[in-house]
Amino acid sequence: MGSCGSCGSPLDIQTHIYCRACGAMNEAHVSEEGIICDVHTENRAVGFCVVCGKAVCDECLENQGNRILCGDPKHRVYLEEWRVLHTFDFEYEAAMLYANLEQHDIESEVFTKLNPDATESPVRPTIVEVRIPEKKFEEAKEIVKLLGLSGEEMEDEN
């Protein structure tokens, strides 16, 4: 184990590509050529947007506190006023939750991100997060419970 050099969150520096809490790249683990920015293909990415998971470089990253965001202004709102409800292994699982939330008039967004831990077995190249408005969290959690979904339930942040 270890901790993130940027935000101090627990992070396995041997196995994690980036910090899920703040989006910073774990430079100790990234290969020589690194990961390329999704916008500037000539630049090396320094981290990932904590909302959408897009790889960003120094030129296009935005900071919110000590967390990395891409340039999409909506993602700042998603970070401040929305939160992750559930994390899945596969997109179809997230799509099922999305559809159920929609039936209950709860807005949600699905983001597929690089799996920070690339050593897991079996290897899951990506993780899928379902994010919803903070004020709908309790209501949405009940829906997750009723559906009996697998995946990672998000704990209360506060």
Q: Is 19 in the site for Zn ion (CB under 5 A)?
A: yes
Extract the tokens encoding 124: 């899951």
Out of 13, 36, 39, 95, the only residue in the binding site for Zn ion (CB under 5 A) is 39
Q: Which among 26-34, 35-43, 86-94, 139-147 is the span making contact with Zn ion, rule CB under 5 A? A: 35-43
Terminal CA-CA length for the chain? 24
The whole-angstrom separation of Cα 136 and Cα 83 is 10
Query: Which whole-number Å values give the CA distances from 22 to 8, 27, 95, 109, 119, in the listed order?
Result: 9, 14, 25, 19, 20
Residues near 117 by beta carbon (within 8 Å), at least 6 away in sequence: 12, 15, 16, 17
Q: Which among 26-34, 40-48, 95-103, 126-134 is the span making contact with Zn ion, rule CB under 5 A? A: 40-48
Out of 37, 68, 128, 144, the only residue in the binding site for Zn ion (CB under 5 A) is 37
- Specify the amino acid at residue 85: L
Binding mask 67-106 for Zn ion (x = CB under 5 A): ---x-x--x-------------------------------
Binding site for Zn ion (CB under 5 A): 4, 6-7, 9, 19, 21-22, 24, 37, 39-40, 49, 51-52, 54, 57, 59-60, 70, 72, 75
